[in-house]
């Protein structure tokens, strides 16, 4: 390892024992990755406030200093935790007070999390509490080195914003928040950001549903590689790119993709591949679109829908508005619940804009901070759910043992109102 003078000082304890432990962790991590240096980062997105039985036990033993020392620094002893050295935000966490009486989630976890927010907020952590920090103010600039967790946030940061981050973990982001360092490898280097596979779209991709299907196909096709997407697609919006990246990171492990003319490092297809030549394409046509849709819908047998989930990754304001318009003047089926997951900051705007009132009049709820997959919580008795998120259709059946239907937002709203799944690929 090649360390700078400042890094050696931190390692040797000049900034206190917690920072020294953080540097020790990062040096061990870098050695395991065969990284020669550490990158200087000024933007960390991790998780500290998310409650769990382990955290509850550690807090009982030695407060939040102990919880952070053990979980975020891999330290055996309890260390006094100083303020964060660089801007740090909390990603999605457990459900908060707004979910009381709606979500079957332990009240003691809500209280533990509220206590954590006080501790970490006092040390400089911005509690954004969302998997989409880029929607609520955390927007790293192109070329900026970051240390982010959360697969859908990481792929958005790399591919849409042009920032540079690998998919980090709880410990590495914890260490990065106290040092402003992370191992310099993978997506931090130019050569590991260039395209590896060409995905040629031969069937129209224009809707939110289409971008989810294309993302799910692409991730499965390339796994952890870096696709370059060309062909018959419309100019994507923020929600389309959010949906595409989350789906690709779920079916595969995509952390970086290029859409020539849209994503920052790909003004052309040739530029996306770094001048290395364009490979033979992986074709996404009508047959592949149909097969992807059927794969996402092969987890549903019953057409009776108990639960509809919108907003994964967390919904944009436009998505909340569209759901409100689809629900205006309608009522949910008495046996079906509708949750729309959103960042708390955007939920506040949705309430001020009148969208929340429309959704609640219909019987639905806008909830913040978490999601059923993160907190392992759905309405009691749920057997079948419907979603417009390829990511949730991928994960939630395995996590909660329930059936899934995947379709458009309009089809999901229809299922919430009728209690029946009537979606079909058009």
The pLDDT, as a whole number, for residue 299 is 83
The pLDDT, as a whole number, for residue 44 is 98
Once rounded to an integer, what is the mean pLDDT over residues 57-71? Answer: 98
347 half-sphere exposure, CB direction, 13 A CA radius: 21
Q: Assess contact for 232 and 225: CB atoms under 8 A.
A: no
Q: Assess contact for 139 and 132: CB atoms under 8 A.
A: no
Q: Is residue 1 very low, low, confident or very high in pLDDT (cuts 50, 70, 90)?
A: confident
* Two structure tokens written together for 255: 């952390």
Q: Match 């927007």 to its residue by tokens.
A: 139
Q: Is residue 300 very low, low, confident or very high in pLDDT (cuts 50, 70, 90)?
A: confident
The pLDDT, as a whole number, for residue 45 is 98
Q: Is residue 426 very low, low, confident or very high in pLDDT (cuts 50, 70, 90)?
A: confident
Once rounded to an integer, what is the mean pLDDT over residues 148-170? Answer: 98
Once rounded to an integer, what is the mean pLDDT over residues 325-348? Answer: 98
pLDDT above 80 for 293: yes
pTM: 0.96
Once rounded to an integer, what is the mean pLDDT over residues 251-268? Answer: 97
Once rounded to an integer, what is the mean pLDDT over residues 318-325? Answer: 97
* C-alpha distances in Å from residue 271, one per residue of 5, 111, 195, 200, 261: 37, 50, 9, 16, 10
Task: Read off the pLDDT of residues 384-403 as tens digits, 9 standing for 90 and up.
Answer: 999 999 999 999 999 999 99
Q: Is residue 131 very low, low, confident or very high in pLDDT (cuts 50, 70, 90)?
A: very high
The pLDDT, as a whole number, for residue 70 is 98
Phi and psi angles of residue 118, each rounded to the nearest 5 degrees, phi first: -65, -45
Once rounded to an integer, what is the mean pLDDT over residues 346-361? Answer: 98
pLDDT above 90 for 280: yes
pLDDT above 90 for 381: yes
Closest to 185 (Cα-Cα) out of 32, 42, 43, 72: 32
The pLDDT, as a whole number, for residue 269 is 97
Closest to 134 (Cα-Cα) out of 113, 110, 152: 152
Task: Read off the pLDDT of residues 203-224 as tens digits, 9 standing for 90 and up.
Answer: 999 999 999 999 999 999 999 9
């Amino acid at each position: 390892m090649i360390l700078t003078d400042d890094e050696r000082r931190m390692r040797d304890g000049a900034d206190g024992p917690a920072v020294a432990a953080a540097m020790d962790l990062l040096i061990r991590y870098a050695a395991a990755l065969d990284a020669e240096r550490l990158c200087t980062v000024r933007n960390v997105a991790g998780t500290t406030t998310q409650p769990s039985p382990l955290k509850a036990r550690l807090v009982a033993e030695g407060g939040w200093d102990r919880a952070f020392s053990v979980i975020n620094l891999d330290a055996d002893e309890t260390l006094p935790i100083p303020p964060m050295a660089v801007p740090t935000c909390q990603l999605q966490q457990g459900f908060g007070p707004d979910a009381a009486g709606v979500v079957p989630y332990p009240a003691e976890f809500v209280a533990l999390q509220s206590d954590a927010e006080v501790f970490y907020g006092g040390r400089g952590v911005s509690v954004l509490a969302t998997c989409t920090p880029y929607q609520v103010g955390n927007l790293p600039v192109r070329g900026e080195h970051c240390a982010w967790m959360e697969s859908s946030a990481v792929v958005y940061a790399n591919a849409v914003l042009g920032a540079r981050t690998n998919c980090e973990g709880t410990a590495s982001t914890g260490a990065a928040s106290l040092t402003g360092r992370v191992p310099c490898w993978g997506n931090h280097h130019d050569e590991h950001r260039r395209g590896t596979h060409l995905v040629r779209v031969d069937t129209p991709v224009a809707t939110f549903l289409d971008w989810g299907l294309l993302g799910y196909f692409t991730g499965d096709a390339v796994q952890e590689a870096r696709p370059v997407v060309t062909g018959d697609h419309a100019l994507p919006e923020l929600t389309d790119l959010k949906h595409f990246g989350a789906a690709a990171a779920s079916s595969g492990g995509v952390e970086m993709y290029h859409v020539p003319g849209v994503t920052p490092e790909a003004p052309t297809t040739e530029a996306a591949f770094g001048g290395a030549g364009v490979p033979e394409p992986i074709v996404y046509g009508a047959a592949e679109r149909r097969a992807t849709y059927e794969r996402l819908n092969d987890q549903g047998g019953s057409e009776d829908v108990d639960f509809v989930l919108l907003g994964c990754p967390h919904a944009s304001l436009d998505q909340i508005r569209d759901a409100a318009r689809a629900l205006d003047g309608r009522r949910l089926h008495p046996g079906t619940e509708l949750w729309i997951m959103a960042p708390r900051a955007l939920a506040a705007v949705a309430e001020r804009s009148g969208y929340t009132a429309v959704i609640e009049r219909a019987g639905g709820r806008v909830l913040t901070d978490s999601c059923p997959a993160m907190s392992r919580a759905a309405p009691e008795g749920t057997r079948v759910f419907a979603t417009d998120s390829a990511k949730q259709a991928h994960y939630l059946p395995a996590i909660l043992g329930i059936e899934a239907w995947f379709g458009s937002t309009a089809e999901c709203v229809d299922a919430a109102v009728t209690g029946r799944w009537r979606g079909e690929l058009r």
